[in-house]
Amino acid sequence: MKRINLKAIGSSILATTLMLTIALPSFADGLPAPEDTAAFELTASKATKISRVTGATREGETVPNPNQTHTNYALTATDLGIMWDATTDNGSKKVMVAFGDSYDDGWGGFGGGGSGAGWRSNLLAVSEDAVLSDGLSFSSMIMDENKAGYSKEIIGSVHDTSGSGDFTAIPTAGITVGTRHYIHYMQIKNWGANGRWNTNFSEIAYSDDEGQNWTKSGTKWSGTSKFAQAAYVKDGGYVYMFGTSAGRFDSAYLARAAEGDMLLKEQYEYWNGSGWSKNNEAAAVAVVDAPVSELSVAYNSYYDKWIMTYLNENRYAIVMRSSTSLTEGWSAETEIATGEEYPGLYGGFIHPWTNDGQDLYMLMSEWGPYNVFLMHAKLDIGTPAHNLIADPSFEKQDSETISAPWTLEAGKGGIDHATLSRAGSNNVWLRNTAGWNAITQVVDVEANTEYRLTGFVKTSQNNNAGYFGVRDSAGGILKETKFERFDNYSKLSVRFNSGSNTQVKIFTGMHTNGDTWIQADDYSLLPVDTTPPVITLRGEAAIEVRLGGAFTDEGASAFDSADGDLSHKIVVEGSVDRTIVGTYTLTYKVTDSEGNTAVPVTREVKVTGAAYSVSGVSFTDAEGKVISKLPKKGFVTASADVRNNTGAAKDVTLVAVLYNKKGEIENVAGVTKSLASGAKETFIGGFKMPGNNAGYTLKVFIANSLKDLKPVSNAAVLQ
């Protein structure tokens, strides 16, 4: 396996050289040496949406849309976006991006799955874009030679929607070896219940002309294969193929073939837990437990780790794991995108060119808009929270009798090994006609810690007294929720604080109502993040702005230990009116995905200037002509626009005051009006000149009052 790449030493590492060897740079949290890379794991921040990759921009959407596929390629709706390095000429690097069921502008508006205008089972784009911070741009798509501006289906499908034929051909993985491109696709027979589908078979197709045309190779896996869906990586002359069964509820398995043997199925070797078993798919054992779907795997040279991303239906989230080995040692999951934030999410296909640092770019699909988006997360050293429930999906229960670590507390129950599970192969059942029936498990926990317990149950129609929850070490209820009828597996959840307990007992049970049953599967007990985000102002906390001057809020940044950069989720309360003098407070707030609220941060913006302003002053004589100097006699009229620059209504007095050469007041004309905040009105006033104006001056301004002629604004002057 690979050793650590020393270019991985970055800003988060303190480099140290010792004699003839280079020791592992010490991370701030005391990470071990590179020779022991398995001793540390990776976590990732929550992903943020960088750009739209396919389809038309929706109303209110603010992310870039560089490809405009709805007009450039007749691609309005699609999903997946499986990416791989498709470079066949080092002078012209490229990535290929394969999409699933796709539609033109006649698309119906929600989801895929067959039929509809312009339905194509799969499409292929080419990208040479190496800078993803502003979005993923295509250089081209594979187009229909007979239909201008129309991207074409590359792997043919009969589109038989009867449910018993070739419904559609969906790509699941791609890889390039030498000058040949390969796509693993599944031929769908029919779409089943949510997250489940049936395949006729899966097959490898290949192209020798840069993706323009594809040949179905005949190298196939059966409809019940563990490799109905795949994820490819290359390492040491082999192509490794991770596989999952059709649907979203099975484990991940691993096979490999020499690069030159991709189309020789009898040459494939399957990982059996301790070694490779040639041409024996039945020997394959799970390398990652269920549920795994839309899997993507890549090598990160910065950390010398393999990383994988996939949808975990139980968590309704795209998650990430890391490992030093492809065959074992995969870390616990870190959630990087959740359905609460991105409803209907799935996929999570890693971009192949961004794995030499801390950036993780991937393509995510959303079922509602049925389109693909570029997402970005940050990798870091850390320990993902492990599920504290032992044997959470009952996959280690070999017999039909419930055994450790689970206990049948009361009543009747056992293990199903048929097709009744939610994920994987097994589930637990309780069934009885009388009394309390329950399963339990004792779990070690940290005292005074918040936890969330989840599980999935399905019940008989008459169930009306089911209970799911946690007891303390003395048997008292810490938290429980009552449930009744569930015709399909449904998620239950309770959040609790462990208090002084270092052990708790989780339970699922029912008080029977005649012949009553429960099936349960896929438990999880994880600590809840209770650390709030931290907000940091950008720029100064106190700013002065002249009345009417420019002001741009520099904003703030927010970081959360679990969610990463939350700057885009900051809510700013308050505003600044540059046209009204006063002091304004901007308050910055943010809440993380667990509901933890940061301490608010404020910025004070002071708009300074006169409380009142006089503008648009005009002087006219008795005949209404505009004058620029005082006449010796006759009537003089002054008009002016007066604005109240304060934040409250004010009584405003505009005066025209005539001063003699000694500065004494000879005459006054004035008017008082009430002006609302920010309001502007035109005031008009005047008087008759005394006949001799030598050295006289006429001033127009806002005064305290008609009795107190002290100016409180700028003044216009006529001499």
pLDDT band at 11 (very low <50, low <70, confident <90, very high): very low
Closest CA to 603 of 551, 647, 557, 540: 540
E strand intervals along 528-664: 534-537, 542-546, 556-560, 564-565, 571-573, 582-589, 601-608, 612-620, 633-644, 650-659
User: What is the length of the chain?
Assistant: 719
Per DSSP, what are the bridge partners of residue 702?
654
Q: How far apart are CA 718 and CA 700, in angstroms?
A: 9
Percent helix / strand / coil, the chain, rounded to 5? 5, 50, 50
pLDDT band at 37 (very low <50, low <70, confident <90, very high): low
| pLDDT confidence of residue 192 | 85
| pLDDT confidence of residue 318 | 98
In the predicted structure, residue 17 carries a pLDDT above the cut 60: no
- Name which residue leads in pLDDT, 341 or 112: 341
* CB of 544 closer than 8 Å to CB of 478: no
* CB of 370 closer than 8 Å to CB of 107: yes
Q: How many CB atoms lie within 10 A of CB 4?
A: 21
Query: Per the omega criterion (within 30 degrees of 0), is the bond before 690 cis?
Result: no
| pLDDT confidence of residue 419 | 86
Phi then psi dihedrals of residue 658, to 5 deg: -100, 120
* CB of 320 closer than 8 Å to CB of 309: yes
Mean pLDDT in residue range 427-456: 98
Per DSSP, what are the bridge partners of residue 457?
490, 520
Helix (H, G, I), strand (E, B) or coil at 607: strand
pLDDT band at 18 (very low <50, low <70, confident <90, very high): very low
| pLDDT confidence of residue 597 | 97
Mean pLDDT in residue range 194-220: 96
Per DSSP, what are the bridge partners of residue 565?
559
| pLDDT confidence of residue 32 | 42
Helix (H, G, I), strand (E, B) or coil at 1: coil
Closest CA to 174 of 151, 208, 204: 204
pLDDT in tens, 336-390: 999 999 999 999 999 999 999 999 999 999 998 999 999 999 999 999 999 999 9
Closest CA to 553 of 585, 600, 579: 585
Mean pLDDT in residue range 433-453: 98
Amino acid at 573: E
* CB of 219 closer than 8 Å to CB of 260: no
pLDDT in tens, 458-487: 999 999 999 999 999 999 999 999 999 999
pLDDT in tens, 71-98: 999 999 999 999 999 999 999 999 999 9
Mean pLDDT in residue range 660-683: 91
Q: Positive or negative CA dihedral for 276, 279, 285, 286?
A: positive
Mean pLDDT in residue range 662-681: 92
pLDDT in tens, 614-623: 999 999 998 8
Mean pLDDT in residue range 653-658: 92
Phi then psi dihedrals of residue 307, to 5 deg: -125, 150
Helix (H, G, I), strand (E, B) or coil at 651: strand
Q: How many CB atoms lie within 10 A of CB 539?
A: 11
Q: How far apart are CA 406 and CA 391, in angstroms?
A: 8
| pLDDT confidence of residue 555 | 96
Average of per-residue pLDDT values in the chain: 92
Q: How far apart are CA 658 and CA 636, in angstroms?
A: 10
pTM of the model: 0.82
Mean pLDDT in residue range 262-278: 98
Q: How many CB atoms lie within 10 A of CB 144?
A: 15
- Name which residue leads in pLDDT, 212 or 38: 212
In the predicted structure, residue 204 carries a pLDDT above the cut 60: yes
pLDDT band at 685 (very low <50, low <70, confident <90, very high): confident
pLDDT band at 656 (very low <50, low <70, confident <90, very high): very high
pLDDT band at 687 (very low <50, low <70, confident <90, very high): confident
Q: How far apart are CA 15 and CA 8, in angstroms?
A: 11
| pLDDT confidence of residue 38 | 61
> Rounded to a whole number, what is the largest CA-CA distance in the chain?
120
pLDDT band at 36 (very low <50, low <70, confident <90, very high): low
| pLDDT confidence of residue 693 | 78
Look at 21-35, 205-219, 356-370 and tell me which has the smallest mean pLDDT.
Answer: 21-35
Question: What does DSSP assign to residue 580?
Answer: S
Specify the DSSP element, H or E, that contains 69.
Answer: helix 69-72
pLDDT band at 10 (very low <50, low <70, confident <90, very high): very low
Domains identified in the chain and CATH numbers: 41-381 (2.115.10), 407-527 (2.60.120.260), 534-608 (2.60.40.10), 612-718 (2.60.40.10)
In the predicted structure, residue 31 carries a pLDDT above the cut 80: no
Look at 139-153, 216-230, 414-428, 687-701 and tell me which has the smallest mean pLDDT.
Answer: 687-701
First-last CA distance in the chain: 93
Q: How far apart are CA 363 and CA 667, in angstroms?
A: 79
Q: How far apart are CA 421 and CA 522, in angstroms?
A: 9
pLDDT band at 529 (very low <50, low <70, confident <90, very high): very high
The per-type count for the chain, helices as H runs and strands as E runs, is 1, 50
